[in-house]
Amino acid sequence: MASLFRRSNGIYYLVTIVNGKQVWRSTGCKTKAQALKWLSGSEQQIPFEEPIPTGILLSEFRTQFLQYAKSNLSPKTVDLYRSGFSQFLKIVGDRPLSGYSVRDVETFKIERLKTVSPVKVNIDFRTLRASFNIAVNWELVQVNPFLKVKEVRIPPKRPVYFTQEEFKKLLGTINQEWYRDIVRFAVSTMMRVGEIVNLRWSKVDLPNRLIHVENTIEFTVKTQRPRTIPMDEWVCLMLRKKARISELVFTFPSGRPLPIGYVSHRLKKWVRRAGLREELHFHSLRHTGATWLVQKDVPIFTVQQLLGHSRVDMTQIYSHLDVEHLRKPLQKIQDSIERSDSRGGLE
């Protein structure tokens, strides 16, 4: 049984079910009368034994999507989408959107894993899945093949953080006061490096001791969700004393903006000079603040709000780092055993 449908591009398509799958074929006609005429002369001549993909090519959709993304997403996110499209086209090839299958997605994952890490494969996978969802919303394709495929499984890793002794040693090693302030600020606020170097004085509310992490024209928060961070005593005092030589809070002493890469690489220099663990990096400062809060019995939901995590399971990785707070409840079992023994044994 074949049916005619008019799509958003104004053209009528002949839709047939073959082996449980929809097969779409363009009639090339923009009026129903023309489509019916085409159908009466063509339906019996065209075999429908195998689905024949039709419609916009992935390369064409990529151009349209990236134009849309530039006005709705951060430049960094647009680059991720551009990279995902490029790799998928390279591995699977350029076809109409309706021509991609679940097997193609699995092939992409397998081939991509040969050259990059599972984390990078999942980044590509998520961006492509999201772009195909947009294609479905735009009625360019009926089904998103990525929805039936799972991401590469990555065992959870414990976040790397500074112990209090390591952090004290690090601060004692850094001989640049302006950079030392950035390091301590990063732990105290648990802000990401991009959020720190893009923080503007207009987002600092000293009277109420609040820092507003918000999206701007120049910078987009990772989760795109703004959040407000209270200042502790040290942060408030440091910011009150800090000279305002730029619209940005943290800059080079000359007032020049700080590149994210410079700030991150600079910390590795000081970590090595202090003789600390090689796995410690700038993002470890954010992990450090979160870990120390959990170790001080701060509720995990409070830590989630401060970090700006969209889901609490992202924050719960910190709850497994300190086993000492678990040791005390377990001691109660031993206490019960000892009391039972003193009464003549367990019943």
Active-site position among 129, 222, 227, 281: 222
Alpha helices in 93-206 (DSSP H): 102-112, 118-137, 164-173, 177-189, 193-197
Give dist(CA 81, CA 60) in Å, integer. 14
- Complete edge-to-edge strand list for the sheet that includes strand 12-18: 2-6, 12-18, 21-26
The residue type found at 314 is M
Active-site position among 25, 112, 192, 287: 192
Token pair listed for 299: 């509720």
Q: Answer yes or no: 287 catalytic.
A: no
Q: Residue 220: what are its φ and ψ, rounded to 5°?
A: -120, 130
In the chain, what's the furthest Cα-to-Cα distance? 97
What Rg do the C-alpha atoms of the chain give, in angstroms?
A: 28
Q: Answer yes or no: 192 catalytic.
A: yes
Give the DSSP H or E segment for 228: strand 227-230
Active-site position among 212, 309, 320, 328: 309
Q: Answer yes or no: 283 catalytic.
A: yes
**What DSSP assignment string belongs to 230-289?**
E--HHHHHHHHHS---SSBSSB-TTSPBPPHHHHHHHHHHHHHHTT--TT--THHHHHHH
Which residues have C-beta within 8 Å of that of residue 183, sequence separation ≥ 6?
A: 170, 171, 174, 267, 270, 285
**What DSSP assignment string belongs to 118-141?**
HHHHHHHHHHHHHHHHHHHHTTS-
Active-site position among 209, 286, 327, 328: 286
Count of alpha carbons within 13 angstroms of residue 188, beta-carbon side: 19
Q: Answer yes or no: 309 catalytic.
A: yes
Residues designated as active site: 192, 222, 283, 286, 309, 318
